[in-house]
Structure 1
């Protein structure tokens, strides 16, 4: 096996900072060229150059955010994650999830899988209506914080699709994925993986972000201005149907604030069809 080339961390930091500075000053063509140099130095893309290129409309839209980027991003922000997300960005999707479960008269549940569990916000919101909760996140630092809260019976550091392919913990009668889709473009792999790990009649509840139709321009998904994936509601519904789910509801929500402005999205509740 070929040995991986060692990254020149200083050269990479200099290249990334130059690219980011060019982007922030509105010199997008020059920034795109600089981000391509970043990718040449770091093919695993710890800095998310690929999603920044797509966000500027100067690169192909990747099927998902690079694993190395997502893990690095959340590892770096783990300690301050909840104060930033909840207090500053007014993120309340876990409690909205609980409200919808109660409004629809669902539960209690026997076994829940919390995809992208982070520091345990969704696990905490639903702890009293689930017997057994398994959580996983790609960020080791996030999982360590979730572990300290003693909310989960089982925790893993893993990418969601990888876990779903190899999982032997299920089946689950509730799967949640709050704030996971903004790091994915192509949804079919995740949705089929969830379906394969669920009981017939189980519920899949997740949030997504979206953009106006005139911005999406018929696309199923795109990288938005804040380097997060936005999905067309029709695509989400189509992908769910193809994976064997019936949509119970898809409600409009404000996912969070970004630069003080609300980010539009959906909270989706789907039910796994019997074979």
Structure 2
């Protein structure tokens, strides 16, 4: 059996053809075009799909999908045109192939659970840092979806903001939030998260202030995940997770936070790891999801 996998992002769409062992046989990437309507978008999506020889299609994208495959929350960028459409049916109508859809963060988590650094744990979590915050929880059977497919939406954890209003903690923990905070101090400078982190490591005062707040927000989310679910491992994804200094500092802050905030008498052995898979995790996870759903029908 072979799988056509699609990772729909707000800026790019990635395609792959995978075999039964989840090895990528072919892949490509195209721009997520801004099109007039959903019909045109799905035509474009399916025209580019690597379906020759495929038996099933697995799709992942930002957003939450109901049991039918309808996107019930807004997505990101040009992919938002899929909002309130039946992704599964639209793709099946154009390709003739049985199609399954999953949230992109859950796809990445499923890949880590099956083949990566969550493998072998009966309780695990993936925490993905990007433009926003994504994630998922897993047990020995795979993904925990929740009663409303909302499990793992870590971005929505509430926190008191500086003005006394309740805010989403994810809006303090994402990479885009770090960039916004630094930009507020340097409004005439165009800068990315990697450069801000480099300045942090050189002890530039504004970078230290912004990165410290950002790391604290991430740590708060990890401690909350621990308090609610107590996983054996939390795998961190996103480009920043490749940086050794980041993972070491985050793990140290997490351990210290658990000791001070929960109890110094409790010994927390939850590991903080980077995800084993990076750019291809979503594609592999989408294919794994399609295979699991097909065989569980």
Whether the TM-score (by the shorter chain) exceeds 0.5 is no
Structure with the bigger RCO (C-alpha within 8 Å, sep 6+) is 2
TM-score w.r.t. the length of structure 1 is 0.30
